[in-house]
Amino acid sequence: MINIDKYTEIKDNTSLLIICNKANLQVSLKFYFNEDEIAYILEANTKNNVDFLYFNKLAYYAIVAIVEEKEFSYQTNEMYRRLGGKVLRFCDKNFIKDLQITSLCDKQNILSFVEGMILDSYIFDGYKTDPKRLIHPFDNLHIISKDIDIKEINDLRTIGEATEKAKDLVNEPVTVINAESLAANFKTMGEEAGINVEIWDKAKIEKEKMGGILAVNRGSVDNPTFTIMEYKPENAKNTAPIVLVGKGITYDTGGLNIKPGDYMNDMKSDMAGAATMACALYAAALEKLPLHIIGLFPATDNRPNHNAYCSGDIINMYDGTNVEVVNTDAEGRMILADALAYAKSLKPMLVVDMATLTGAASRAIGPYGIVAMNKDAGQFMETMKLCGQEVYERIAEFPFWEEYDKLIVSDIADIKNSGEKYAGMITAGKFLAYFTAYPYIHLDVAGVAMNDRPDYYRGKGATAYGLRLIVEFLESFCK
């Protein structure tokens, strides 16, 4: 990750970025450029709509970035994040190691720029043997601002560190991150951030009769885990905990309902929900948010080996519910159901789960946001949608009408683990909601957890999409 600090004044012979918007363009430029340079910049912007210019001063670069104000502030802040990534790539291409930034723009705009630069600096290339593999020549960002304090910068770094951890976990293959090593990583994170971590092994899971986790695990040579992370500071504002639940399928073949080959290429990412939620909890603890937060993370892979569970099986779940299996590729909801049922014992104020759950979610809204539903959590849902706008990890809320309940009714058991051919993301949510008895929000990140092409500062591969949303949401309880 890049280093960030504050300068009190501009240093000579160090590359400088001036960030402007249309309203303060001329005022911003007059301190740093001569009349001819200002005329050139203004003409390029007004006549040709050029919004990124630079002057090679031989010893350093002078760079001008012009951001157009959007209708809403959250849209403008997103433009600044994207600019952060663009500037980082420019610095890398031109072997700029140090950059100063100054601006007359709003403080939140500049923080968004810095955030984008931090997020875009992530690289996962440890398996490349070429010594010339991609690295960032750029190292140091120096902020010249009286309004921004060190804590705000450190909070951005914390989010960046948590995001990198989540991305690393998701990008690693299952040969490195199986259920046990995922839990071990959560344990290490807990030790770093002051979070109590309890890991249930297979024997404990069997003793607790978590039938969903055990069923999905039957085809695997690796043992399942159930990780409980608890952060409870003495000054916690909430008397009942906020519970974060994440799907930890470390690799999903589809089981006996095996996926076509191309659909398995990114299935190491099927534990993105667990990785993202655990790392959001990690960030909240490092920021010392005054909240009691518990994380629940069931984990296993889903393979068609040994005595793998199959369609027609009746699975007795943690809470005693009998589930008819009609599709072994609907495995994520099986392990999440046990965790959600366990959450009842915690008497939570709210439970939020995150999962790469359904292809239907991706088909519904594409790679542009999270599909969400809520049960008895309407006010929390509205806050979460606003938080999603602020960090540009947006939420599309889908209906949760009672008619959808009928689609998961089983003829021979209490419910079945997959609904009809339509509204798959909603029936999956209905299956999960069956195991809840508290305010509940379901987040399906199937369309955004992994990118098959670069996407601004989110990059290619694992995105940790939803992590900044959850941290922003948790911070909203502290304001």
Q: Which residues does the annotation mark as catalytic?
A: 259, 333
CA-based torsion, 219, 222, 224, 229: positive or negative: negative
Give the Cα separation of 404 and 458 in Å (integer).
34
Q: What is the CA radius of gyration of the chain?
A: 24
Give the Cα separation of 118 and 478 in Å (integer).
25
Own/partner contacts of 386-391, CB < 8 Å, gap of 24 or more, are 387/469, 387/472, 387/473, 387/476, 388/469, 389/72, 389/74, 390/74, 390/77, 390/472, 391/468, 391/469, 391/472
Give the Cα separation of 336 and 322 in Å (integer).
15
Neighbours of 106 (CB within 10 A): 16
Give the Cα separation of 426 and 430 in Å (integer).
6
Residue 332 near residue 354, CB atoms below 8 Å: no
Strands (E) across 70-150 are located at 98-103, 140-144
Q: How many residues does the chain have?
A: 479
Half-sphere exposure in the Cβ direction for 433 (13 Å, CA): 23
- Which two tokens mark 236? 């916690």
